[in-house]
Structure 1
Amino acid sequence: MVRRTFTLLAALLLALTLVPPAHAAQAEIYVALGDSAASGPLVPNQIGPDFGCLRSDRNYAHLTAQNIGASTLRDVTCSGADTTDMYQPQSTELGDVPPQLDALTPDTTLVTVQIGANDVGLTGFIEDCLNLLPPPIGDACNDDYIENGQDTWRLKTDALRPRLTTLVSDIRARAPQARIFVVGYATYARPNGCYPRVPIIRADANYIRATLLYFNQMLAEQAAGAGAGFIDLQTPSVGHDPCTAPGVRWIEPYVPAAPAAPFHPNALGMRGFAVAVTAAVTGVL
């Protein structure tokens, strides 16, 4: 009886070793969508085939794909992209690139999308606030965005809400199996700034900070409403803003000290963002 029981158990264990687990993890097919905050302009190494997109092989999408062992990465992030470039070809200095949504396929399992800053003119907005001379000679920029008592930057942010909801829906239609994550933007200004190290005066630094907080909150709300995840990059990048020293900062100032576009992530920043993105997509937050 004991021998028969042992034989049956051995046979059962052998059978279990021959049958793969029903819920074995599948390697991700990952599509990264987004603008220059995701593509990594000037961060080594810049790669093709779409060289006009200024895309780095060390951006957070590539690093995350390595971290999670993705079987496929289709990184179509592109500098200068806005929400219209999800649907139609984007013109770059080195030629047109296909609509980003064309990278999605029915077998896609993971999508990150970081978009919207160019719709509202984020980079131009920050550059407008650069002030080489402090008041009273230099002018503050924050009041330039108030018209008839309303903050035009916030109005543009709110106008983007339905487009983001539609975008998530359209991603899901093309990639019904995919988990979708909207990625927020980093910390570009600390409270009160650090004039003259970064030549943005205190009032303008606080305005930039407040408007970016509002913008990221909008992204989080739209992601939640559309049933997508949201990845916060603002919180982990606190203490790594352009005011901090080289080797600490994740976002370069107007005159970069590391290979990166002004007010864009450097290689260290991309590594920090990859930690946040990896944690979010693997559920180990």
Structure 2
Amino acid sequence: MKARLQQFPCIRPGRRARHRLGAGALTLALGALLASVPQAQAAPREQAAAAERYVALGDSYTSGPRLGTQVDSACGRSDVNYPSLVARALTPASFTDVSCSGADTTHMTGPQGEAPPQLDALAPDTTLVTLGIGGNDLDLPALLGRCIVLGALLPYGAPCKTSYTLHGTDEVTARIDGVAPKVDAVLDEIHRRSPRARVLLVGYPVILPEDGGNCHGTVSLSSGDAPWIRDKEKQFNEMLARSAALHGARYVDTYTPSVGHDLCKPAGTRWVEPADSDTTAGLHPNEAGHRSAAAAVLAATGG
């Protein structure tokens, strides 16, 4: 099991001390849509795209560790992550992706090893910002790691849920409540630094089956813990949506479009990979997952 957990790039320390979490068809469809619009109507849109200045911020669910070509291997940043796909579709005047595996909200305003604070990429003329953050503040890798270990020993029941609710309170719910003001503060600081920017807060996609099912042979979660983890992820996304609504951002739902593409599905159908994946970081979106996220972001931008 130790070897399986070492598949998590966000758990294994990296060169920058990252000890936590850490569109072909889309492009064709977008091209066909634009081609069908009369030239007189397309011109303002092209002018808007030419003026777009896009900055992407986030953790490993944004950066795309081990996918495609790693343009920054220390941060696990890929050239096929969803910000890159969004940028290719929008063709903005400028595009800066500073997402980094292992990032949490403190790395928005403070350095992450050798990487400067992510918010330093913002400017007064930035017009579009995507932000995917919070999983490391929740300590999602450690939560999943504990549940996997307990599930390997006790495949039935809900030992992991029990371990987080021993004292009559739900420790994970308390953590989610504690992350909310941190995300709020990041959103407020983005607006302060880039007052013209549209800010999109991107949620986390499906990890486990929506129907509460399990695939113990793929990831060793107990039968009762799988639906509990599903519910906690949904609760976390709901918190992000509230933060966005209260702090001048738009929430981008990547969970709903990814239902039916959880890690229990076979290769070619799943959009999140198992812990022992050979193609991407374990328990992270694969290329199809990033294409789905890019489509959701583009829909939110009107692109």
TM-score with structure 2 length normalisation?
0.80
Offset from partner CA, 1:46-105 (integer Å, 9 cap, x none): 013xx31010000000000111122211000000000000011102xxxx1000000000
From 253, 270, 277, the equivalent of 1:232 is 253
Q: Is the 8 A contact 2:152 2:220 kept in 1?
A: yes
TM-score with structure 1 length normalisation?
0.85
1:125 aligns with 2:134: no
Larger CA deviation: 39-48 vs 216-225: 39-48
Q: 1:75 — aligned with what?
A: 97
From 29, 43, 48, the equivalent of 1:25 is 48
- In structure 2, distance between residues paired with 1:203 and 1:109: 45
- In structure 2, distance between residues paired with 1:188 and 1:207: 12
Quote the offset at 1:139 in angstroms: 7.3
One-letter amino acid matched to 1:32? A
Do the aligned partners of residues 255 and 106 (structure 1) sit closer, same or farther apart at CA in structure 2, a change above 3 Å counting?
same
Q: 2:215 — aligned with what?
A: 194
Unaligned runs of 5+ in 2: 1-39
Identity of aligned residues (%): 44
SS at match of 1:117: coil
Q: 1:102 — aligned with what?
A: 120
- In structure 2, distance between residues paired with 1:75 and 1:202: 39
From 180, 199, 212, the equivalent of 2:233 is 212
SS at match of 1:74: strand
Find the structure with the greater CA-based Rg: 1
Q: Is the 8 A contact 1:168 1:228 kept in 2?
A: yes
From 111, 127, 133, the equivalent of 1:115 is 133
Do the aligned partners of residues 22 and 90 (structure 1) sit closer, same or farther apart at CA in structure 2, a change above 3 Å counting?
closer
Do the aligned partners of residues 86 and 21 (structure 1) sit closer, same or farther apart at CA in structure 2, a change above 3 Å counting?
closer
- In structure 2, distance between residues paired with 1:265 and 1:240: 10
From 175, 179, 189, the equivalent of 1:156 is 175
Quote the offset at 1:223 in angstroms: 0.5
One-letter amino acid matched to 2:201? V
SS at match of 1:169: helix
- In structure 2, distance between residues paired with 1:153 and 1:171: 27
Q: 1:7 — aligned with what?
A: none
- In structure 1, distance between residues paired with 2:49 and 2:260: 36
Quote the offset at 1:275 in angstroms: 1.1
- In structure 1, distance between residues paired with 2:166 and 2:301: 41
Quote the offset at 1:135 in angstroms: 4.0
- In structure 2, distance between residues paired with 1:161 and 1:260: 29
Unaligned runs of 5+ in 1: 1-16
Q: Is the 8 A contact 1:132 1:199 kept in 2?
A: yes
Quote the offset at 1:21 in angstroms: 6.6
Alignment of 1:168-179 (within 5 A): 168-179=187-198
Q: 1:54 — aligned with what?
A: 76
Q: 1:6 — aligned with what?
A: none
1:262 aligns with 2:262: no
Quote the offset at 1:192 in angstroms: 2.3
SS at match of 1:271: helix
- In structure 2, distance between residues paired with 1:54 and 1:82: 15
Do the aligned partners of residues 145 and 105 (structure 1) sit closer, same or farther apart at CA in structure 2, a change above 3 Å counting?
same
The CA RMSD measured in Å over matched residues stands at: 2.0
One-letter amino acid matched to 1:34? G
- In structure 2, distance between residues paired with 1:133 and 1:246: 26
- In structure 1, distance between residues paired with 2:256 and 2:232: 15
Do the aligned partners of residues 135 and 23 (structure 1) sit closer, same or farther apart at CA in structure 2, a change above 3 Å counting?
closer
- In structure 2, distance between residues paired with 1:46 and 1:23: 30
One-letter amino acid matched to 2:292? G
Do the aligned partners of residues 261 and 23 (structure 1) sit closer, same or farther apart at CA in structure 2, a change above 3 Å counting?
closer
Q: Is the 8 A contact 1:250 1:265 kept in 2?
A: yes
SS at match of 2:254: coil
- In structure 1, distance between residues paired with 2:239 and 2:158: 29
Q: Is the 8 A contact 2:49 2:91 kept in 1?
A: no
